[in-house]
A = this chain, B = another copy of it.
Amino acid sequence: MSQNSHNQSSHPETPEKPRAGAQEVAERAGVSVMTVSRVFSGSASVAEKTRQRVLEAARALDYQPNIAARALRTGRAETIGFLLQSPGALLGHFHSQALAAFESVLSKHDLSVLISIAPEGESYRRWAHDLLRSGRCGGLVVQSDEISERQLTALRKIDAPMVLMNFRPDASPEDFGLTTVGYDNRGGTEQVVRHLTALGHRRIAFISGTPTHHDAIRREEAFIAVTCSMGLDVPVDWIRSGDFSRAFECGAAETEYLISEQGNGPTAVICASDEIAMGALQCARRCGIEVPRDLSIVGFDNLRASAYTAPPLTTVEHSGFDLGLLVAELLINQIENPRTPPTKHVLETRLIVRESTAQPHPDRNH
């Protein structure tokens, strides 16, 4: 819409003119439009004195280069799409944190961030493709927590700056030809298991997340691999599948199942997220199971609330903020060097020990 009737500016000599273009600025500064263009795009060299005159004229006229004209002319969109798989994705603290960090870096590079949530029933590829093709975006960040192999293959065909955020990074980047960033879920899980075994636990259960979610898959895989390599015996029904979108409920329900084998159940439960762990905590409380005396519970994510649960939760920290910074950096690099080969990045995680874990109670230990 942009109805134009701005006529207040901190500058005294403001005109009533609705919208100044490079032409007006040029006239006022006594130069050509090209010089104005050069000053604002920073492309070629302009004599310092001329530059100042142009800038002054621009300020007086409240001039801003028209982004649409620029995009049309250069064929480059100064906007990066941040693609989320579902509306719920925004509610997770990690994507929010990543987005905030991402935006802060991009805005410093005069790049805008466009948010787009996956339209129901449309292929990932078409969605991403359309954003690029219409000129809306010059690059993409794709939240790929639950992306399938097929969708991934389709995405590879898209030739534009792109970073996959939180794709399960088990293959090498050459294998799928895309730059990815993710957490070291395996390392985090291993730290948790070692922490528990060091306390003396041998009977450890696992409550997983959404079965298609890469974080859940990786954490579960790692749990199995690590417990196995340590010679721990984990009954198959101690690995419970869960659902991140109904984390609390599911944590409670699965915990109820696990503690039903009185005296024979696990002495510790590792949850694929802190929210699941909070559900587990409530279930234990309701059933009269004391944490950590009767049961140790561990989460994953280190939400802010996790230091304030009863008892405070032992968990694995990983920073969405760092993720966002890294994604921004990689994307900008791809824009500046279009032929950069894809790379894979794994961010560190850190075990935070609080009060929800302790030695197993002697009565329940072997």
Contact = CB atoms under 8 A, between A and B. Distances in A.
A199 interface: no
B91 A130 contact: no
A5 interface: yes
A281 to B, nearest CB: 7
A222 to B, nearest CB: 26
B113 A114 contact: yes
Interface string A70-81: 011001110100
Interface stretch (A59-67, A179-187, A204-212): A59-67
Contact of A338 (B3, B62, B72, B114): B3
Contact of A103 (B117, B133, B252): B117
A117 B134 contact: no
A308 B3 contact: no
A334 B310 CA distance: 48
Contact of A6 (B4, B71, B129): B129
Interface residues of A, number: 75
A87 B101 contact: yes
Nearest to A118: B107
Given A96-B90, A107-B117, A76 B285 contact: no
A161 B87 CA distance: 25
Contacts of A161: 1
Contacts of A115: 82, 99, 103, 113-115
B310 A282 contact: yes
A248 interface: yes
A108 B140 CA distance: 20
A79 to B, nearest CB: 7
A309 interface: yes
Contacts of A248: 304-305, 307-308
17 contacts: A1-B338, A2-B76, A6-B129, A6-B159, A8-B157, A68-B69, A68-B135, A90-B97, A90-B99, A91-B97, A91-B100, A107-B119, A248-B304, A275-B304, A275-B305, A282-B312, A285-B310
Interface of A: 1-6, 8, 19, 62, 64-69, 71-72, 75-77, 79, 82, 87-88, 90-91, 93, 96-97, 99-101, 103-104, 107, 112-117, 119, 129-130, 132-136, 138-139, 157-161, 248, 252, 275, 278-279, 281-282, 285, 303-305, 307-310, 312, 334-335, 338
Interface pairs A-B: 10 shortest CB-CB: A68-B71, A87-B100, A310-B310, A68-B72, A64-B133, A64-B134, A90-B96, A278-B308, A113-B115, A282-B308
Given A2-B138, A67-B134, 8 more contacts: A2-B77, A3-B160, A19-B133, A66-B135, A69-B135, A248-B307, A252-B308, A275-B304
